[in-house]
C-alpha cells in the first residue's frame, strides 16, 4: 500500500526541485528515480547520479507535464521555422544496427518492429551490395496522410510526418499507401507494456504504444523539441547520419558532431532520394555507397537471374 502511494506521489509530481546547495553545480534535479523515505518536512530522494539527498518538501514543485490534449495540440504544430532533413551516408554504414536498437528502446518497439531498418541492398546483378538504413522518408507530398480516414496521421510544418495513436483506428490504409514500407502495426501488446501503464501519451514519441494502432518513425520529434538529435542519429558509431534544419542549410553529424552545409554536402556527393519518380519528395537524402569504409560482409540472395 505504502509502495503504491509513493509511486503515485512521484508520478504525480514528476519531481523537479531547486537544490542548488545540495547537489554541487547543478541547480535542478529533474529526474529522481526513487523516493527512499518520507518525513513530515524533508524528503529523501535518489538523484540520477546515485546520491541520496534530503530536500525540504516546500522546495518541491510539480514539473510542467503537458496534458494529453496540449501534447496533441503542440504535436500537430511542430517546431516553428524549422524544416528537418536527414542525410544518410551509405559509404559509412557497416550494419552496426545501433540506430535500430536505440530507436526500439526510445519508441517502445518489439524486436520485430522497426521504425528504422538496415537493409542489405544490391541494385543489379553485377553491382556491389551495400547496407542501407531506411527510416520513414518524411515525404513533402506524403501518400500516407491522404488516405487516413480519421486525420490521425498528418504532416507538420517542420517537415515531420506523425501519427496520433489516440485517433488511429487501425485500418492500415496508410501502410498500404506508403511506398517505403515505413509503417508498423501493433499486432500485439507493445514491448514493456506494463512499464508504461498510466504514462501520458506523447504524440511526438508514440509512447506508450497502443495495441491495434499504427506506429512510425518520428525523427524523434520529442528529442528535437529539447534540441537533441534523433535517437538513431546520436547512436550511430560510424558517422552515417547527418541531421539538421534545411532552412538554415546546416546538418550535423551524429557521431562526430561536425556541422556542414547541407546543400554543399548533397551536391558534392551526388545525393539521391528513394523512389523520387513517385513524386513523394522525400526529406531523407542518401549519399551513394562509394569509397566504402567497411567491406560488405552479409550474404545476399541472387534475385537478378
Partner 1 sequence: MKKQIILTLVIALMSVSQGFAQEWLVPDDQKTLTNPSEYNLSNVKKGKDLYIKNCKSCHGDPGKHNGLPLVPAPPDVVSEKMQNNTDGELHFKITKGRGGMPQFEGTISDDDRWRLINFIRNFDPSREQLLVDAPPKKAKLLASVNEVEKKVEIFAEVESANGSFVTLTDATVKISAKKAFGNLPIGEVLTNADGRAEYKIPETLIGDENGMVNIVVQLDEAYVTDNVVLDAAKVGQLKPQPKLIKKEILWSTNENIQTWLLLSYLGAVGAAWAAIAYVVFQIFKIWRLGKE
* Residues 123-142 interacting with partner 1 (rule: CB under 8 A): 140
List the one residue from 4, 64, 227, 303 that touches partner 1 (CB under 8 A).
227
Footprint on residues 40-79 left by partner 1 (CB under 8 A): none
Per DSSP, the residues of the chain read -HHHHHHHHHHHHT-EEE-TTTSSS--EE----EEEEE-SSEEEEE-TTS-EEEEEGGGEE---PPPHHHHHHHHHH--TT--EEEEEETTT-----HHHHHHHHHTT--TT--SSEEEEE--STTSPPEEEEE-----SS-HHHHH-TTS-EEE-TTS-EEE-TTT-----HHHHH-TT--EEE--SPPTTTTTTTTPPPBTTTTBS--TTSEEE--TTHHHHHTTPPPHHHHH-SS--EEEEETTTTEEEETTT--EEEHHHHHHHTT-B-TTGGGT---SEEEE---S-SS---S-------
Q: In the complex, what is the shortest distance from the CB of residue 240 to partner 1, in angstroms, rounded to a whole number? A: 12
- Pick out residues in 8-27 that bind partner 1 (CB under 8 A): none
- Nearest CB to partner 1, comparing residues 57 and 225: 225
Q: Is 292 in the site for partner 1 (CB under 8 A)?
A: yes
Judged by CB under 8 A, the residue of 44, 122, 260, 269 near partner 1 is 260
Is position 268 an interface residue for partner 1 (rule: CB under 8 A)?
no
Query: At closest approach, how far in Å is the CB of 234 from partner 1?
Result: 10
Q: Is the preceding omega at residue 208 within 30 degrees of 0, hence cis?
A: yes
Which residue from 17, 22, 168, 229 is in contact with partner 1, where contact means CB under 8 A? 229
Minimum distance of partner 1 from residue 45's CB (angstroms): 30
Each residue 84-103 as x (binds partner 1 by CB under 8 A) or -, in order, gives -------x--x---------
Nearer to partner 1, 209 or 238 (CB): 238
Give the residue, chosen from 68, 259, 272, 300, that forms a contact with partner 1 under the rule CB under 8 A. Answer: 259
52 or 150: whose CB is closer to partner 1?
150
Residues in contact with partner 1 by CB under 8 A are: 81-83, 91, 94, 140, 145-151, 154-159, 227, 229, 237-239, 243-245, 247-250, 252, 255-261, 290-295
Amino acid at each position: 500500500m505504502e509502495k503504491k502511494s509513493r509511486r503515485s506521489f512521484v508520478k504525480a509530481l514528476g519531481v523537479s526541485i531547486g537544490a542548488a546547495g545540495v547537489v554541487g553545480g547543478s541547480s535542478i534535479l529533474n529526474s529522481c528515480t526513487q523516493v527512499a523515505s518520507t518525513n513530515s518536512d524533508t524528503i529523501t530522494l535518489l538523484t540520477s547520479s546515485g546520491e541520496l539527498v534530503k530536500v525540504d518538501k516546500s522546495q518541491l514543485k510539480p514539473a510542467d507535464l503537458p496534458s494529453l490534449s496540449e501534447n496533441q495540440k503542440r504535436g500537430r504544430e511542430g517546431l516553428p521555422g524549422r524544416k528537418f532533413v536527414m542525410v544518410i551516408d551509405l559509404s559509412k554504414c557497416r550494419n552496426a544496427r545501433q540506430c535500430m536498437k536505440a530507436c526500439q528502446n526510445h519508441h517502445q518497439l518489439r524486436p520485430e518492429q522497426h521504425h528504422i531498418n538496415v537493409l542489405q541492398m544490391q541494385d543489379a546483378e553485377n553491382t556491389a551490395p551495400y547496407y542501407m538504413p531506411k527510416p520513414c522518408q518524411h515525404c513533402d507530398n506524403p501518400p500516407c496522410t491522404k488516405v487516413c480516414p480519421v486525420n490521425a496521421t498528418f504532416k507538420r510544418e517542420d517537415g515531420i510526418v506523425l501519427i496520433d495513436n489516440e485517433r488511429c483506428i487501425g485500418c492500415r490504409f496508410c501502410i498500404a499507401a506508403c511506398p517505403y514500407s515505413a509503417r508498423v502495426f501493433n499486432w500485439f501488446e507493445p514491448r514493456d507494456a506494463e512499464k508504461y501503464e498510466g504514462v501520458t501519451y506523447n504524440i511526438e514519441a508514440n509512447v506508450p504504444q497502443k495495441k491495434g494502432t499504427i506506429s512510425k518513425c518520428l525523427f524523434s520529434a520529442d528529442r528535437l523539441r529539447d534540441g537533441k538529435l534523433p535517437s538513431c542519429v546520436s547512436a550511430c558509431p560510424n558517422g552515417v547520419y547527418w541531421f539538421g534544419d534545411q532552412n538554415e542549410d546546416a546538418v550535423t553529424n551524429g557521431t562526430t558532431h561536425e556541422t556542414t552545409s547541407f546543400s554543399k554536402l548533397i551536391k558534392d556527393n551526388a545525393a539521391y532520394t528513394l523512389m523520387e519518380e513517385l513524386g513523394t519528395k522525400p526529406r531523407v537524402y542518401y549519399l551513394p555507397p562509394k569509397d566504402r569504409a567497411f567491406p560488405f560482409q552479409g550474404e545476399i540472395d541472387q534475385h537478378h537471374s
